[in-house]
Structures are given as structure tokens and as C-alpha cells.
Amino acid sequence: MKKLGIVAATALLVALVSSTCFAGVKAGQTQVNLAGSISSTKPDTGDKTTSTMITTGLGYFLQDNISLGGALFVDYSKTGSNKTLTNVINGQAKYHLAPKEILVPYVGIQLGYMGVDMNGSSGSGYDYGAMAGIDYFITENASLNVELNYRKDVFKISSVEFKQDTTALLFGLSYFFGK
């Protein structure tokens, strides 16, 4: 029975390693991802807020190391009796540093539009920022992701302008399909 367990474990290890041997990103592929985080936001007023963020994204690889795409962020925060729901849609460009490896680090920039609902009052604005992350391929077409994402948010509610920095550590999963 012990030998059967060793054979099964060895077969599983070989299957996992062989499925990631051809991992990496390629021109013509499409990436879809889902991630979540707990983020820290520091507005100009100095009050720090912790919030929950969920994001989904789509990217297309123009070259092995360059992808263009977009992401939708939904961010809910609460500070005392203040409740804020922020929806952000961003265009993104990413540069992948080692596109043919199992561990693929990347850096990128983002720019987008945001809608904000703060205690029942609505507003809108824009954001811009950068990100750095790592895709760890667990199969040829799937990766676990870790990303540090920074945004500068600028928006108005009732003609009052707000500026804030949002930093999030995102953890997620991506699926790659196509070429």
C-alpha cells in the first residue's frame, strides 16, 4: 500500500511539473483574472481607511512581454459612520519581464474613470497609477497572482474635490487562452 502511495505521489508530481513546463505568456493570448484584497486609502484629510476590493480584468498579449487590457475595481470602505462604494474602470498596459518562465514578474500603468457613492451622495472622477506583480503558473493555462496596485484618485461630489491615494495588495487567479 505504501508503494502505491509513493507511485501515485510521483505520478502527480510529474503531471504537475510537466503541465507547467510550457507555461508562460505568449503573443496572441488572452488573460482573464479575478482578484481580491484589503486595501489602505489615505485621503488628503489624513484619515486612513481600510477597505475591501474585488477586481476582474481582461488583457491581450500584443507581444510575448506586452499586454493591453482593462480592469474593473469595486471597492467598499467604511470609516466610522461613513460608507463609500467606488467603482473604477481602468485601461492598463503591462510589461512582463520573463514571459517564458513559470514565474512571470510584470510592471504596468493604468488610467481610468471612477464613480463614487459616499453616504448617499454620488460623484465621479478619474484615476491613474501603477502596478507590479507576479504570475505563478500552476498549469500551462492558469496562474496564481500577487499584485501591488497603486492609484491616485481624483473625484468630485457635490462640487467638492477629493484626492486620495489607494494602495492594494491583490491576490488572485488568472486563466490564459488563445495561441
Q: Cα–Cα distances in Å, from 60 out to 81, 86, 110, 143, 169? A: 41, 26, 15, 16, 23
Answer whether residue 47 shows pLDDT above 90: no
The confidence score (pLDDT) of residue 177 equals 93
> What is the chain's Cα-based Rg?
20
Residue 173 banded pLDDT, cuts 50, 70, 90: very high
Q: Cα–Cα distances in Å, from 94 out to 65, 115, 125? A: 8, 24, 23
User: Which residues, at least 6 apart from 18, have a Cβ–Cβ distance to it below 8 Å?
Assistant: none
What letter would DSSP give residue 123? E
pTM for this entry: 0.80
Model confidence pLDDT, tens digit, residues 48-68: 777 889 999 999 999 999 999
Chain position carrying cell 510537466 = 18
- What's the mean pLDDT in 141-146? 96
Answer whether residue 2 shows pLDDT above 60: no
Answer whether residue 142 shows pLDDT above 60: yes
Answer whether residue 164 shows pLDDT above 90: no
Query: Whole domain around residue 75: which residue ranges?
Result: 2-178
What CATH number is associated with residue 78?
2.40.160.20
The confidence score (pLDDT) of residue 81 equals 76
Question: How many domains does the structure of the chain reveal?
Answer: 1
| Dihedrals phi, psi of 54, to nearest 5 degrees | -125, 135
| Dihedrals phi, psi of 100, to nearest 5 degrees | -100, 10
